[in-house]
Amino acid sequence: MSRRLKTLLWGLALEALVLPALAAQEPPTWAPATLPEARQHDLQAQSGKAYRIFIAAPNQAPPPAGHPVLYVLDGNAAFPVAAFLARSAAGRSEITGLTPPIVVGIGYPNSKDFDGPARRRDYTVASGGPEDGVSEGGAEDFLDFIETELKPLIAARHPVNPERQALFGHSFGGLLVVHALLTRPDSFSTFLASSPSLWWKEQRVLEKLPLLLESNARPRVQISVGALEDDPPKGNYPPEMRAMIAQRQMIPPARQLAAQLRQAPGWENRLAYYELAGEDHGLVWLPALSRGVQFFLEQP
């Protein structure tokens, strides 16, 4: 018998022994994935609305003034990304000198990355219509929830720095961030508005700009949009979607708001504005959030 044939027969015999043993083993058990140093809690606000609150705190002693805090809207989607950026900042703090933040995600108790009806309810500005506060226009109630319920909850759990707190939101979330900036400029030290839907109700939110300019508040502000938002690459966009995009221009009102702030007295070096190359509306929030975390942590 040739050596080659002996080797083949030996391999077949070994396979006959091993395969039944493998088949008899139970399939591997898969555990749910976890996010390092993160917790979540489903909370019913005093208004009766339900929220899922995510939190990740640095695994190190707080600075004397307390931890900075970054609040991110659409927490189901944005919190894991923001938490990673905060962990990265913590791991490099000895080199960069940046103080890593607590990250608080404000989401909803379901499996959706973006809960369309809930965010339309909570993030949009009231226009005086019959739906206000029910299916839309609830921005003021939502900001009251953050200020009077959520912030005290976080402060009771962790030592926080009330002078270094930021709010990030995208699209309708960016609209809410701009509304908070214009009407409650002292509520956060940094406002991070990604692709704010300023077109909402014929740019009604911008009617409050004089309130900010007449106040003494000078928070730091980042406004960003994707350079392709108003003219996305040709693809599978149906004609009706392209018509909607044409009616809901993102770049011109964001650019104008940034220009008005830059020209106002006392706003020198308080504003960062980006038109992010190669980005459309869907995913531009990712680089906007990355730049926003850096912008926030570099706050003097």
Contact call for residues 184 and 142 (beta carbons, < 8 A): no
Catalytic residue flag (residue 179): no
54: Cβ contacts below 8 Å, ≥ 6 apart: 38, 39, 40, 75, 79, 83, 103, 104, 105, 106, 107
Instruction: Tell me which residue of 182, 176, 254 sits closest to 219, measured CA to CA.
Output: 182
**Rg for the chain (alpha carbons), in Å?**
25
Task: Please pick, among 136, 170, 171, 224, the residue that the annotation labels catalytic.
Answer: 171
Q: Given the residues 179, 189, 224, 229, select the one marked as catalytic.
A: 229
158 catalytic, yes or no?
no
Q: Is 15 a catalytic residue?
A: no
Nearest 10 degrees: CA dihedral of 7, 9, 10, 12?
120
Contact 67, 159 (CB under 8 A): yes
Which amino acid, residue 163? E
Q: What is the Cα–Cα distance from 275 to 257, expressed in whole angstroms?
A: 13
Contact present, 169 and 146 (Cβ < 8 Å): no
Per the residue annotation, which of 67, 170, 179, 281 is the catalytic one? Answer: 281
Residues designated as active site: 171, 229, 281
